[in-house]
Amino acid sequence: MYQVDFHKPIHVHFIGIGGISMSGLAEILLSEGFTVSGSDMKASELTDHLKEKGAVIAIGQRAENITSPDLVVYTAAIRPDNPEFREAVDRGIPMLSRADLLGELMNNYREAVNIAGTHGKTTTTSMITNILLEASKDPTVSVGGSLDSIGGNVRIGGSDLFVAEACEYTNSFLSFHPTIAVILNVEADHLDFFKDLDDIRKSFRRFVQTLPQDERGLLVLNGDITDRSFFTEGMGCSVVTFGSSEDCDYSARDIVFDELARASYTLLRSGREAGRVHLGVPGEHNVYNSLAAIAVADRLGIPLATTLKGLESYTGVRRRFEYKGKVNGFTILDDYAHHPQEITATLAAAARYPHRKIHVIFQPHTYTRTKALLPEFAEALMAADEVILADIYAAREKNTIGISSADIGDLINTSGGRAVYIPTFEKIKQYVLETVQEGDLLITMGAGNVVDIADQLISE
C-alpha cells in the first residue's frame, strides 16, 4: 500500500472531494504542505473552503481532471467506470480509498483515537474533542458532522494526537491503525453490504484486532453489548467497559434530567463515586456516550475536573437534536437519526423536552435499510404522536425491491399509531402549517435532505 508520509509532501487528487470526510482529509494534507486537487459533482461550502485553502477543484468528473498527481484518493461511492478512476488506473497512478488514506494518516500520530459503533459516533467524537480542547491537548480531528467548537468538520492540531470516527460500512475501519478504539454499540445496519448481524459482529472483532495487541492498545467497550466477550477473547490489548451496569468500569447512578432533557448523573469508576457529571446535550443515550468519552480522557491523562468542564460545555453538533427555531408557536428540531435505535433514543429525549404533541417528519435512508428494518422503524416511530413520511432518500441505491415510505405508515396505522405519507417536501410544509399547533414539537428526522424542510419553514 502507498505510504503517506507527512515529511514527504506530494500531489494528491481526490475524486469526490466535497464529501464531509474527504474534504477533511484534503484539508489535513493541505496543512502539511501537500498539493491537493480534486473534483466533485457540485460546488458546496466545503469545496469553496478548500479552494480558499489552496486546493484546485473541478466541478464535474472528467478524465482530464487527472493531471499529474502522485496519488489518487477515491470514496466508496466511486465506481470503476468513473472517468477519473478509469484514467488513473490506465495511467498506473497509485490509488487509495478514503479509508486507506485515513488509516495511513493515523501512522503519523503517536495516539490515534477511533470511535466506532452503529450510532453515536459523531456525538462521542465531538464530546472527546471538546474535552481535549478544554485540556489544551491541541488534537487533529476528523468528525462526521459540523462542530461549532472547531468551526466545521476538521481541526488541524499541532500535537501527536489524532481523533476520528471509524465507520464500519464496507469494512472501512479495518484500514485504520488506532491506539485507542471505542465501540459504542453493534447492531444490524448497512445490510446492503453485510450479510447479517453476525457478519457485522465479526467485522467489529476484526476492528479490535487493528489495535496494538499489548498495553499500548486500549479498547473502550460498551458493557451492555450482547456476549461482549466475543470482542475481547484472545485479545492482548487493554479493555475497559462502560454501560448501565455498575459492574462496568464506568457507569452512571442517579440520572436526572432538566427541563430541556439534559442529563446529570453521578459517575462511578469501578463502582466508586467519582463526581457529578452535567451534560449540555439531551437524552439518556448521551449519558453512555459521555461515559465512553470519560474513559478515553482518563487514558490520555486528563484530570477529571477538566473532563467534566469539557462535557458540560459541549452543546451538540449540527443535525443531532439541533434546535432550529419556532414557527407559529411550535418548536422545530432536526436530528440525523436514520436507524430504529437512533429514532428510539431521539424520541425518548424529545419526550422530556417541552411539548404538547410530538410530530416527526421522517425521511428513510436507503431502500435496503428500510426493507430490512421495516417493523423496527414502525415500532420506534410509534413513540411520536404523529409521523409524516417523506419519500425514501435513495443515496447510493435504486429501488429494485419495491419498498416505499408508505409501507412504514401502513404498519404504524394498523398498530394504532398515526402516520401520513406525503411524497413532496412542498406538500409536507403545507400540511405542517395547517396541522401543527402552538406548543407542539416538530422534528425533521433522517440522514438525507429532510433538514431542508426545517430550514425552509424557518426562512419562509
> Alpha-carbon distance 378 to 23, whole Å?
35
365-379 per-position pLDDT tens digit: 999 999 999 999 999
> Alpha-carbon distance 251 to 143, whole Å?
25
Predicted TM-score (pTM) of this structure: 0.82
Task: State yes or no: is 324 an active-site residue.
Answer: no
Contact 270, 253 (CB under 8 A): no
Question: Residue 345: which pLDDT band, with cuts at 50, 70 and 90?
Answer: confident
> Alpha-carbon distance 222 to 240, whole Å?
9
* CATH class held by domain 322-459: alpha beta
Q: Start-end ranges of CATH 3.40.1190.10 in the chain? A: 109-313
* Catalytic, out of 75, 87, 121, 346: 121
The CA-CA-CA angle for residues 234, 99, 95, to 5°, reads 125
Q: What is the mean pLDDT of the chain?
A: 93
Q: Which CATH number fits domain 11-97: 3.40.50.920, 3.40.50.720, 3.20.20.70, 3.30.70.120?
A: 3.40.50.720
**What is the CATH number that goes with domain 109-313?**
3.40.1190.10
Task: State yes or no: is 165 an active-site residue.
Answer: yes
Task: State yes or no: is 397 an active-site residue.
Answer: no
What residue has cell string 442529563? Answer: 263
Contact 220, 162 (CB under 8 A): no
Q: Start-end ranges of CATH 3.90.190.20 in the chain? A: 322-459
157-169 per-position pLDDT tens digit: 989 999 999 988 8
Q: How many helices (H) and strands (E) does the chain have?
A: 14, 21
* Catalytic, out of 75, 118, 122, 344: 122
Contact 189, 369 (CB under 8 A): yes
% of the chain with per-residue pLDDT over 90: 80
* Catalytic, out of 87, 134, 165, 168: 165
122-143 per-position pLDDT tens digit: 999 999 999 999 999 999 998 8
Question: Residue 146: which pLDDT band, with cuts at 50, 70 and 90?
Answer: confident
> Alpha-carbon distance 395 to 279, whole Å?
33
